[in-house]
């Protein structure tokens, strides 16, 4: 099955672009649905998983306790506790990614999918970026944050994503060489970026017109 992964800087419009891509290709979008699947697997409310997107250390202990009973096959009884707990969470995430891509063509947003599926055939990796000032303005407008709050949140979330990929896959999240396509959403707009992703996917033989 074909896959497009969408990695994105905070407030860069990646989720909106992914939705447009999925609609135009007629593929399944895995974004909030992915959060719901993780939440179901580990027994947490979806909003709690989503609020700690791409792994914040404060969530590790609660998830690990649930994993010990809900997913005993991924329980690792030895080694450094903190590292082992985080590793178990990554395995659950990877398992859900694997299950998802086996059942149809999908557009998948975030969750380290671009690193986990880095060498997979029939897969295209896209990175959505935008200037810092543009992303701060977007966060202020959409989330009602102050400029200072938006800047702090943006730096924190992007660093979490960067650290997650570096720690578990030894890849540089910001390295353009890890992606087939890097797009500036401020330059092309959301619709323009979606159109470019769809065109690139079709040129790679990944998608057919719906």
Which residues lie below 8 Å from residue 183, measured CB to CB, with a gap of 6+?
A: 17, 126, 127, 128, 129, 193, 196, 197
| In the chain, domain spans | 3-203
In this predicted structure, what is the pLDDT of residue 144? Answer: 86
In this predicted structure, what is the pLDDT of residue 209? Answer: 53
Q: Which of 83, 89, 80 is nearest to 52 (CA)?
A: 89
CATH architecture of 3-203: 3-Layer(aba) Sandwich (3.40)
Regions of the chain where pLDDT drops below 70:
32-39, 41-86, 88-89, 207-210
In this predicted structure, what is the pLDDT of residue 140? Answer: 94
DSSP code, position 121: T
In this predicted structure, what is the pLDDT of residue 207? Answer: 65
Q: Which of 192, 196, 199, 38 is nearest to 111 (CA)?
A: 38
Sheet holding 3-8, edge to edge: 28-30, 106-109, 3-8, 123-129, 181-184
SS3 30: strand
Query: How far is residue 137's CA from residue 20's CA, in Å, rounded to a whole number?
Result: 22
pTM: 0.79
In this predicted structure, what is the pLDDT of residue 96? Answer: 81
In this predicted structure, what is the pLDDT of residue 55? Answer: 44
Asked if residue 15 lies in contact with residue 92, where contact means CB atoms within 8 angstroms, the answer is no
In angstroms, what is the C-alpha Rg of the chain?
A: 17
Distance of CA 195 to the CA centre of its chain: 20
Q: Residue 107, exposed/middle/buried by CB under 10 A (0-12, 13-18, 19+)?
A: buried
DSSP code, position 110: S
In this predicted structure, what is the pLDDT of residue 196? Answer: 98
In this predicted structure, what is the pLDDT of residue 110? Answer: 85
């Amino acid at each position: 099955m074909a896959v497009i992964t969408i990695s994105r800087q905070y407030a860069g419009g990646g989720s909106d672009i992914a939705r447009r891509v999925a609609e135009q290709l007629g593929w399944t979008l895995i974004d909030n649905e992915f959060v719901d699947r993780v939440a179901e697997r580990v027994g947490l409310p979806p909003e709690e998983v989503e609020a700690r997107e791409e792994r914040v250390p404060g969530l590790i202990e609660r998830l690990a306790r649930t994993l010990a009973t809900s997913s005993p096959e991924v329980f690792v009884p030895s080694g450094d506790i903190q590292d082992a707990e985080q590793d178990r969470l990554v395995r659950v995430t990877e398992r859900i990614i694997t299950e998802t891509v086996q059942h149809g063509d999908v557009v998948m947003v975030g969750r380290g999918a671009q690193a986990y599926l880095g060498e997979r055939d029939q897969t295209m990796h896209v990175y959505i970026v935008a200037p810092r000032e543009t992303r701060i303005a977007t966060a202020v407008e959409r989330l009602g944050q102050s400029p200072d709050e938006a800047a702090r949140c943006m730096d924190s979330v992007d660093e979490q994503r960067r650290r997650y990929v570096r720690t578990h896959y030894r890849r540089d999240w910001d390295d353009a060489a890890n992606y087939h396509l890097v797009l500036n959403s401020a330059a092309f707009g959301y619709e323009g970026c979606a159109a470019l992703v769809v065109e690139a996917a079709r040129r790679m033989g990944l998608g057919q017109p719906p």
